[in-house]
Amino acid sequence: MSRTSIRFGIVLVLLLGFGPLWWARGAEFSGTDERAMEAIRSAAPGYTPWVQPLFDPAGSEVETLLFSLQAGIGGGILGYVMGWYRGRGSTRKENEETGDAGTTA
């Protein structure tokens, strides 16, 4: 790779990472849970929830940590399964090419 393409890639990553933050500067960020509760309160003021959360995080940082952990675990499992299937397929292909009738996992 040339230095120009590496520099272009770095600039592109920075724009993709910080561009939306700059574009939305001054915006108020709130979770969809809060917006849904507000919409329910305005549509049906007498509504009472019939399910309570099992765990109430101490703060928004803990909630973000738990969400990130959940996403990381899910991504790891998905990547493992996709790699396993790809490896299984390439092993079968190699066995067909070599004429090996051995067992494959």
Secondary structure, 3-state, 33-64: HHHHHHHHHHHCCCCCCCCCCCCCCCCHHHHH
**Same domain, residue pair 64 and 100:** yes
**Same domain, residue pair 81 and 105:** yes
**Same domain, residue pair 24 and 62:** no
Average pLDDT, the chain: 85
The pLDDT value recorded for residue 43 is: 93
The pTM score is: 0.47
**Same domain, residue pair 48 and 62:** no
The pLDDT value recorded for residue 99 is: 75
Q: What residue numbers bound the domain in which 3 lies?
A: 1-52
Kindly state the DSSP code that residue 99 receives in the 8-state scheme: T
Task: Reduce the DSSP state of residue 103 to 3 states and report it.
Answer: coil
Confidence of residue 102 (pLDDT cuts 50, 70, 90): low
**Same domain, residue pair 18 and 43:** yes
Residue 91, both tokens: 């092993």
Which percentage of the chain shows pLDDT scores above 70?
91
Residue 85, both tokens: 């299937």
